[in-house]
Amino acid sequence: MKTSADKIFINARAYTLESEGVCKEAIVVKDGKFAYVGSNETALADYQADQVIDLEGKTVLPGMGDSHLHFAAFCKLFSWVDLGGAGSKKEAIDMLAAKAAETPEGEWITGFNFDQSKWDDSGDRLPTREDLDKATVRHPVMIKRVCMHAAVANTAAIQKAGIGKDYDFGEGGLVELDKDGIPTGIFREQASRIFDEIIPDPFENTENKKKCMKKGFDLAVSYGLTMMHTYASEIYQYFENYDDYLELNRKGQLPVRMTVCIDNFYNKPFVTKAEREDPFRAVQYGTFKIFSDGSLGSRSAKLYEPYADDPDTTGMLVISQEDLNERMLKAYEMGLQPAVHCIGDMGLDVVLTAIEYTLEKSRERGMTEREQRDRLPFRIIHAQMSTPQLIERMKKLPVELDIQPVFFLTDMHWIRERVGDKRADMSYVWKTYKDAGLMMSGGSDCPVEIFSPWNGIYSMVTRKDLDGNPEGGMQPEEKLSVYDAVCMYSKNVPYANGEQDLMGTIEAGKFADMVVIDRDIFNIPDDELKDVQALYTYMAGCQTYCRG
């Protein structure tokens, strides 16, 4: 007698990713999980279902993931001006002026995604308030750089915020002043919070929030995403509302598994074995987030030595070593999983010191080494710059690296000028990390970059920009194989939060999350990797996306 199932997929080219090269032709889905993965013959002989779907040789992969992004913040930006397409400062100003022309006088104009390193008329320098005044003097204007670690405001915005000469911005930020001590309009790190706190929140309108979040989810599933780790960052006004996702899940309207990571101490809720193994439970709490430094693009990532293109600064730490140690230890002892942002080499150093401190102190207070081994890994977010010494320290620690390969697509054009050849050669060293035995998962840091896993895979395999430059790739010795790159956006993502037994590969008993794509990703020219498109996306066996 045949076993009843919900769906049977036949004639697939299903790369299970349980190990390299494993490919099956049939997948059976029952109750939100993979019931069988193997041959057409066995699937059709042993199972029956109302839906038998002939994939006609199409390629199937496990559902794609993003290990680090700010989803709610991204969705809010649908209400802002996207400056990512501006090829010059003048073009960006014109885009803001056009928005001002259709906006009532006095209302805020907000923009995001600008990258002055791509402008042909700025000399890689950030715009100032005087530049933004050319767009409008009748509206307060605030724009954020693509990295989201630097903001620029016009004169009206500065006045609206009540900022004048000798204004006290507090700690954790940098404000550029002119020769008279007046802000030039450039605000780095936490100094930009003053604008975040007074600009109206587009999510205060419930209908607008629903509309923007649906737009964000529709885009995510179109890339084949089935899991995202979304981060709140209160210091940058990136808020995440767990209840929003929970309500969508209850209504059956959450198409992506959301792990919600926050930057406040919280009591970790108890999850039963049945709840944990429920494929239709698609929202949960995740890590405890901490920042150590800023970004390379805004020259606020903390370096051991000064920036090559700005010898007056080494960047900044946004937290002291002592405070980082104590916050991490407290989170760890509360049973939370610490995750720390670090980009510069010294930024990574202080994070490793805090991890070492936490492990040592918790042992002194009675935790055994076995208990520590059973804990989830410490997550290091970005780890863009390193040194051989730092890598040796990481090898000895229970860490997992959440990296953003898509950063390299643009950073490659200015990284050597910014930090010099020696430090550039120790930046974005994915192959070196892998050879050292370090676990990595792929993410986008969206809205810094769009959450396309295919762009990230392309970046890791080719080490080229999206135009195919440079020939042969930058630092080709750091290229990863297609298999390793695909794993970073699939099977490695659930490893980061201890769910590798539930998802990430196409195996019987795991959640039925998968994506059908338009070409065989393992048998195409590397330059085509960025062009891969999802045809169908499934979460818990339910179709969340269909192209065309």
Please give the Cα distance from 5 to 432 (Å, whole number): 44
pLDDT at 165 over 80: no
CATH (domain of 18): 2.30.40.10
Banded pLDDT at 169 (limits 50, 70, 90): low
- The overall average pLDDT reported for the chain is 95
pLDDT at 179 over 80: yes
Residues 107-139 have pLDDT tens digits of: 999 998 899 988 988 788 899 999 999 999 999
Name every residue whose Cβ is closer than 8 Å to that of residue 32 and which is 6 or more positions away in sequence: 278, 279, 280, 511, 512, 540, 541, 542
The whole-number average pLDDT for the span 62-69 is: 99
Q: Is 11 inside a domain boundary?
A: yes
Q: Which residue has the higher pLDDT, 448 or 274?
A: 274
Task: Give the residue from 188, 250, 215, 231 showing the smallest Cα distance to 73.
Answer: 231
Predicted pLDDT at 170: 66
Please give the Cα distance from 5 to 508 (Å, whole number): 13
Task: Give the residue from 325, 327, 337, 402 showing the smallest Cα distance to 372.
Answer: 337
Predicted pLDDT at 181: 83
Q: Is 29 inside a domain boundary?
A: yes
Predicted pLDDT at 216: 98
Q: Which domain holds residue 47?
A: 3-57
Q: Two tokens at 126? A: 């950030």
Residues 264-280 have pLDDT tens digits of: 999 989 999 999 999 99
Burial of 362-386, coded b for 16+ CB within 10 Å and e otherwise, reads beeeeeeeeeeeeebbbbbbbbbbb
Residues 184-232 have pLDDT tens digits of: 999 887 777 788 888 888 898 899 999 999 999 999 999 999 999 999 9
3-state SS assignment for residue 403: strand
Q: Is 23 inside a domain boundary?
A: yes
- List, in sequence order, the alpha helices (H) in 251-344: 273-276, 321-333
pLDDT at 547 over 70: yes
Residues 407-441 have pLDDT tens digits of: 999 999 999 999 999 999 999 999 999 999 999 99
Residues 135-151 have pLDDT tens digits of: 999 999 999 998 877 89
Predicted pLDDT at 178: 85
Q: Is 51 inside a domain boundary?
A: yes
3-state SS assignment for residue 358: helix
pLDDT at 346 over 90: yes
Domain tally, the chain: 1
Q: Is 22 inside a domain boundary?
A: yes
Q: Is 459 inside a domain boundary?
A: no
Q: Is 539 inside a domain boundary?
A: no
Q: Is 42 inside a domain boundary?
A: yes
* Torsion angle of C-alpha atoms 239, 245, 248, 252, degrees rounded to 10: 150
Alpha-carbon distances of 364 from 358, 359, 369, 382, rounded to whole Å: 10, 9, 11, 30
